[in-house]
Amino acid sequence: MNIELSRRAFLQTAGAGLAGTTLGALGFGDIEAAHAAAIRSFKLANTTEARNTCPYCSVACGVILYSKGDLRKGEQAEITHIEGDTDHPTNRGTLCPKGSALLGFVKAPTRLQQPMIRKPGADKFEPTTWEDAIDRIARLMKDDRDQNFVATNNDGVTVNRWITTGFLAASATTNETAFETYKVVRSTGMLVFDNQARV
């Protein structure tokens, strides 16, 4: 960066108000001007590339998502291509057949886009809201824990365990999220607990 800045400063001090370009100095100023006029009718297209983790399995391969459009510039962005991330130490640019089909996964019409519930005895899922879903889960967990929490074993040793409910969390998260998940789940006494990238 310093190199680039010093070059700019030098050009500004030495430029004496000239539009100094290499093409102009070499006598190609006319084609430069024609090109500048011709390009004016063209527009720029924003594309983005973003790193992510493949959600299919616990290997957690790195992928690069290519999109047309840039959300940061107030545009709609649509994923156009997904490929293995060469810089990622796990997969080094490779993907398995499932990972290679990720674009179909992202665009699948059957993709889960909101919380769904299948009530006891029902034969199909129906949509619900996040608020209802979280309240319902909390209620059921509390009831089950109140009934089945084991504070001491038969020998009177304190064990504080709750093994009638299990918890499956995702591992494609930050360390901080994983830390919080572990703390919350273990503090309830839950032992049936796994982290799994495909969640």
Partner 1 sequence: MPKQIVPSDIDPTAIGEVSAPPYVRLPDPTRLFFRRAQRLNALAEIDELGPYLRFLAALADVQHGIQDGLSDPDLPETEVRERAHAFGMPPLDRDRFASGAFFETLDRLVLAASAIEKPRAAANALDRLKLAAPAERDAMVRNVLADAIAADALAEHVYVAAALQLHFARLAACLDASTLVPVGDGACPVCGGPPVSSMIVGWHGSHGARFCACSLCGTLWNYVRIKCTLCGSTKGIGYVEVEGGPGTVKAETCDSCGCYVKILHQHKDPNLDPVADDVATLGLDLLVRESGYRRGSFNPFLVGY
Distance CA 45, CA 68 (A): 8
| 130 is a site residue for partner 1 (CB under 8 A) | no
Nearest to 53 by CA among 178, 184, 186: 178
Task: Using CB under 8 A, pick the residue from 49, 135, 180, 194 that binds partner 1.
Answer: 49
Can you give the length of the chain in residues? 199
DSSP notation for 108-142: -TT---S-EE--TT-SS-EE--HHHHHHHHHHHHH
For the bound state, the minimum distance from the C-beta of residue 62 to partner 1, rounded and expressed in Å, comes to: 11
How far apart (Å, rounded) are the C-alpha atoms in residues 58 and 176?
Answer: 18
| Closest distance of CB 104 from partner 1, Å | 19
Rounded Cα distance, 192 and 142, in Å:
16
Q: How far is the CB of 39 from partner 1 (least distance, A)?
A: 4
Applying CB under 8 A, does 34 fall inside the site for partner 1? yes
Report the candidate in 143, 198, 190 with the shortest Cα–Cα distance to residue 171: 198
Single residue of 55, 56, 60, 64 touching partner 1 by CB under 8 A: 64
CB-nearer residue toward partner 1: 42 or 130: 42
Query: Residue 199 CB, nearest distance to partner 1 (Å)?
Result: 22
Q: Which of 94, 173, 188, 195 binds partner 1 (CB under 8 A)?
A: 94
**If DSSP codes are grouped into helix, strand and coil, which group holds residue 62?**
strand
Residue 7 near partner 1 by CB under 8 A: yes
Residues binding partner 1 (CB under 8 A): 1, 3-4, 6-8, 10-11, 14-16, 18-28, 31-32, 34-36, 38-39, 42-51, 64, 70, 72-73, 83-87, 92-96
